[in-house]
Amino acid sequence: MITVSSLTDLRKARKKLCEPVGFVPTMGYLHEGHISLVRRAKSECRSVVVSIYVNPSQFGPHEDFEKYPRNLEGDIALLEKAGVDLLWTPTNACMYPPGYQTWIDVEKLSQPLEGALRPGHFRGVATIVAKLFNCVQPQKAYFGQKDAQQAAIICQMTEDLNFPIDIVVCPTVREKDGLAMSSRNCYLTQEQRSAAKVMVQALDLARQLFEQGERQTAPLVEIVQHTVEQQTGVILQYAACVDPKTFLPMDTITDQALLLIAIQTGDTRLIDNIELTVAPVAG
């Protein structure tokens, strides 16, 4: 694996890669979820590029930018083992030089849910991902379904800005007990880690209700709310059933919906979601 930091070195190394190039943008502190994206990219592309950059512009002033976990040595070992061709670790000077003033705002999709709780977050995400795309010029880029709203925003931005890139959204990778993998899970104390499982339990109960035939979203959202409220040490930030394309709330599920949840335990926010799909009627 070649590791580069400057844009000049990235461009030189990129020119030598066989196409199609698959790209996995990350903020590092990699786990099995990231590696599953790399594996998918390797199965579909002749070369794989990964970036590691903790993007300051997607963190709010009181968020965890400073303490966001970092472990470049460990990440490099994992990426080497996974067979990545090129790792890019851009610097702040390259991404946001003095005088920087261009931002990308995916207007509607960025407003609800995570966007409402984290003002400016998706503007930072869309901007950095567009910049990374411009520099790496991949044919395909890979994102996790756990960050469903982020993935939808990146799909919209890619289409709106005419990037010739296929966005591939890959399934959430979970711990043995079902908790979605996240770099932020390392913040959790043992008690918080155990309490956080309620997210999965709540989503599972809603899924069961849906599988029993419930198509109104209110009872699905209520069961999530009620389940989380029973758990000490966890605050529900939102539970919502939305249209997967618009992220607007829906009353009745006729085809597909996303059921999303965000909780806070201690200082840590965690998110998760499940897809609810109405099976087509046979015949």
In the complex with ligand PAF, which residue's Cβ is closer, 128 or 223? 128
- Give dist(CA 106, CA 88) in Å, integer: 26
Q: Which residue has the tokens 């993007």?
A: 55
In the complex with ligand PAF, which residue's Cβ is closer, 25 or 112? 25
Angle separating helix axes 72-82 and 32-44, nearest 10 degrees: 30
Least distance in Å: CB of 119 to ligand PAF?
Answer: 16
Least distance in Å: CB of 71 to ligand PAF?
Answer: 14
CA neighbor of 123 nearest in space, from 50, 51, 114: 114
Least distance in Å: CB of 165 to ligand PAF?
Answer: 13
Is 43 in contact with 15 (CB distance < 8 Å)? Answer: no
Taking CA atoms, 212 is separated from 91, 224, 239, 240, 242, in Å, by: 51, 16, 20, 19, 19
Least distance in Å: CB of 129 to ligand PAF?
Answer: 5
Cis peptide before 171 (omega within 30 of 0): no
DSSP 248: -
Would you call 34 a catalytic residue per the annotation?
yes
Is 170 in contact with 40 (CB distance < 8 Å)? Answer: yes
Least distance in Å: CB of 144 to ligand PAF?
Answer: 7
Cα 59 → chain centroid = 14
SS3 label, residue 19:
coil
In the complex with ligand PAF, which residue's Cβ is closer, 141 or 198? 141
SS3 label, residue 122:
helix
Least distance in Å: CB of 200 to ligand PAF?
Answer: 20
DSSP 135-155: HH--SEEEEEGGGHHHHHHHH
In the complex with ligand PAF, which residue's Cβ is closer, 27 or 180? 27
In the complex with ligand PAF, which residue's Cβ is closer, 69 or 178? 69
Task: Please give the residue ranges that form the binding site for ligand PAF (CB under 6 A).
Answer: 25-27, 55, 58, 125, 128-129, 147, 150
In the complex with ligand PAF, which residue's Cβ is closer, 22 or 25? 25
Is 150 in contact with 112 (CB distance < 8 Å)? Answer: no
Of the candidates 31, 34, 121, 226, the residue annotated as catalytic is 34
- Give dist(CA 79, CA 258) in Å, integer: 31
Which positions are annotated as active-site residues? Answer: 34
